[in-house]
Amino acid sequence: MTVHGYRGPVLLALLVLLVAAVPRATGIVAVGGAVVAVCLVALAALGCIAALVAAAVPVAAATALWRRRGRLRRPGNSVLAGCAVLAAAALLAFSLPAADWAMAFVALAGGGAAVVLWFGRLFSDAPAAAVRPAGNWRWAVPPLLLAATAVLLHFQVPQQARFALARPALSSFAERAGHVAAGNGGLPQPSYLGTYPVDDVTAVGVRGFRFTVPGSGLLERTGFAYLPDGPPEDDVTYTHRSGPWYTWSDHGDW
């Protein structure tokens, strides 16, 4: 925090850790959703104006940027660190059974703010007097991070990797829960299973159970279910993952 230029990435990382440590941050989602809705309306209006301007003077805009090519400052370490934190936030947001919209809001809002600030610097006089970081490779890092994040999200790698890490703990709990159910006892109620926070472990059928992952989803409850006898016929939507494991979602409360 005392090193100039790194306060932004450090504060952003602390915000990401806060949201990750408070998975029940439904209030953040509600407030964030309202803010996003207002911002989207404002951005839509500004976007229409910007589109008209860009369509009218594309040559003038390109010429202005070309004239400043020698004054453009390459992305510094703080910029690259901020991009890495935003990419990590996006991967964390989509590592749950359903998206963690509080974390996704942090990633999207942070990315939008970074783009606006960066373009502001491109057309300001500040880069002229600034030290130019060494290495033209710095220009390639943000788009490569964006592309890599998009590919990982498209193939659901964060969700699959997190489930694979939690699989041993989930299997161990399923075995213990099976013994408890056989003895007609109450299911244990852990706060964490592997890499997942846990709410409300409930029995499903004779040998199965399901638990809620707080912070996953927006207008529904979601989580994982262990169903060795297959999914029951109820109001819950089940999606098979592997073996006896399923993801589930329930819109009944909405």
Helix (H) or strand (E) holding 175: helix 157-182
Rounded distance between C-alpha atoms, residue 88 and residue 45, angstroms: 31
**Are 238 and 225 within 8 A, CB to CB?**
yes
Say what the pLDDT of residue 106 is: 87
At residue 113, what is the residue type?
A
**Are 81 and 7 within 8 A, CB to CB?**
no
Closest CA to 201 of 57, 192, 230, 48: 192
Cβ atoms within 10 Å, residue 58: 10
Please spell the DSSP secondary structure of 54-89, one letter per residue: HHH-HHHHHHHHHHTTTTPPPP-HHHHHHHHHHHHH
Helices 141-154 and 77-93, interaxial angle, to 10°? Answer: 10
Say what the pLDDT of residue 32 is: 59
Rounded distance between C-alpha atoms, residue 110 and residue 97, angstroms: 23
Token representation of residue 85 = 């934190």
List per-residue pLDDT tens for the chain, 254 residues long.
Answer: 555 567 778 888 887 887 777 765 555 555 555 566 666 666 666 666 666 655 655 666 566 666 665 666 778 888 889 999 999 999 999 999 999 888 888 888 888 888 777 776 666 655 554 566 778 888 899 999 999 999 999 999 999 999 999 999 998 998 888 777 666 667 888 999 999 999 889 888 878 899 999 988 887 899 999 999 899 888 889 999 988 999 999 875 54
Assign 226 to helix, strand or coil.
Answer: strand
Please spell the DSSP secondary structure of 112-123, one letter per residue: HHHHHHHHHHHT
At residue 135, what is the residue type?
G
Strand partners, 240: 246
Helix (H) or strand (E) holding 147: helix 141-154
Say what the pLDDT of residue 254 is: 47
Q: What is the pTM of this model?
A: 0.76
Strand partners, 202: 210
Distance of CA 197 to the CA centre of its chain: 16
Token representation of residue 108 = 């999207």
